[in-house]
Amino acid sequence: MFKFRKSVKIAPGVRLNISNKGIKSISLGGKGITQNISKKGARTTFSIPQTGLSYSTTTSFRKKKRTTSNSHQELVWIIITVFIVFIVFKFFV
């Protein structure tokens, strides 16, 4: 069995992550903050460039004992938050 992984830049700050099984995730952001969204969940990573220091937080999309609408609302809020942080980050860095 072989493994294949490729990351393709779609636009500035947007990367599509591909494996031998198809599209795995999309990454948004760049130096300082990155949001990675896949079918399993989302990972947000904050870092201080050139220091090696970073903090990551993960949100799972897997169903727990909550309704589907709450899961979708959480995803929408994650995307909105990442977009706002990304825009603010671009203006100040």
Q: What is the pLDDT of residue 52?
A: 87
With 70 as the cut, is the pLDDT of residue 93 above it? no
Return the pLDDT at 23.
84
Residues forming a β-bridge with 27: 15, 36
pLDDT tens by residue, 3-56: 888 888 888 888 888 988 888 888 988 888 889 988 888 999 998 888 889 999
Number of domains in the chain: 1
Q: What is the 3-state secondary structure (H, E, C) of 14-83?
A: EEEEEECCEEEEEEEECCCEEEEEECCEEEEEEEECCCCEEEEEEEECCCCCCCHHHHHHHHHHHHHHHH
User: Can you give the residue range of the structural domain that contains 27?
Assistant: 5-92
CB 20 within 8 A of CB 29: no
Q: Is pLDDT above 80 for 80? A: no
Q: According to the model, what pLDDT value does residue 55 have?
A: 92
